[in-house]
Chain A
Amino acid sequence: MVGAQLVALLIPLFPLVGFLVVALNVKKVSHSFASTIACGSVLASFILAVIAFAQLAGGTPAIEVTLFRWFSAGGFSATMSFLIDPLSSLMLLIITGVGFLIHVYSVGYMHGDEGYNRFFSYLNLFVFFMLLLVMGANYLVMFIGWEGVGLCSYLLIGFWFKNQPYNDAANKAFIMNRIGDLGMLLGIILIIINFGSIQYAEVLPKATTVDPGTITIITMLLFVGAMGKSAQIPLYTWLPDAMAGPTPVSALIHAATMVTAGVYMVARNNVLYALSPATMELIVVIGLATALFAATIALTQNDIKKVLAYSTVSQLGLMFLALGLGAFTSGIFHMATHAFFKALLFLGAGSVIHAMHHEQDIRRMGGLKKYLPVTYMTFLIGVLAISGIPPFAGFFSKDEILASAFEHNKIVWAVAVIASLLTSFYMFRLLFLTFFGTPRASHDTMHHVHESPKSITFPLIVLAVLSALGGFMGVPEALGGSHWLSGFLAPVFAPSKELIEAHHLSHSTEYMLMAVIVALTLAFIAYAYSRYVSKGHVPAAEGAITNGLQNTLYHKYYIDEIYNAIIVRPLYWISGVFDQVVERLGIDGLVNASGKAVVAGSQSARRLQTGSIGFYIFAMVIGIVVILSVAMLAA
Chain B
Amino acid sequence: MINHIPIDYYIWLAAALFTIGVLGVLYRRNAIIIFMCIELMLNAVNLVMVAFSSYLNDGAGQVFVFFIMAVAAAEVGVGLAILVLMHRNAKTVDINVLNRLKW
Residues of A within 8 A of B (CB): 611-614, 617-618, 621
Contacts and interface: CB of A to CB of B under 8 A. Distances in A.
A621 B22 contact: yes
Contacts of B36: none
Given A611-B102, A611-B103, A617 B95 contact: no
Nearest to B25: A617
B25 A613 contact: no
A618 B102 contact: no
B103 A614 contact: no
Given A614-B27, A617-B26, 4 more contacts: A614-B95, A617-B25, A621-B22, A621-B26
B3 interface: no
A216 B99 CA distance: 79
17 contacts: A611-B99, A611-B102, A611-B103, A612-B96, A612-B99, A612-B102, A613-B95, A613-B99, A614-B26, A614-B27, A614-B95, A614-B96, A617-B25, A617-B26, A618-B26, A621-B22, A621-B26
Contacts of B27: 614
Interface in B31-74: none
A49 to B, nearest CB: 72
Contact residues on B (Cβ < 8 Å of other chain), bracket: under 10
Contacts of A612: 96, 99, 102
A612 B22 CA distance: 17
Contacts of A613: 95, 99
Nearest to A609: B103
A280 B17 CA distance: 94
B37 to A, nearest CB: 11
A613 B25 CA distance: 11
Q: Which 7 residue pairs across A and B have the least CB separation, nearest first?
A: A611-B102, A618-B26, A621-B22, A617-B26, A614-B26, A617-B25, A611-B103
A612 B96 CA distance: 8
Contacts of A621: 22, 26
A438 B86 CA distance: 109
Contacts of B95: 613-614
Interface string B64-102: 000000000000000000000000000000011001001
Contacts of A614: 26-27, 95-96
Contacts of A617: 25-26
A613 B99 CA distance: 8
Contacts of B103: 611
Nearest to B28: A614
A612 B27 CA distance: 12
Nearest to B98: A613
Contacts of B99: 611-613
B61 to A, nearest CB: 21
Nearest to A622: B26
A629 to B, nearest CB: 14
A421 B103 CA distance: 89
A611 B96 CA distance: 10
A564 B25 CA distance: 79
A618 B26 CA distance: 6
A621 B96 CA distance: 19
A613 B97 CA distance: 11
Contacts of B25: 617
Contacts of B96: 612, 614
Nearest to A624: B22
B82 to A, nearest CB: 15
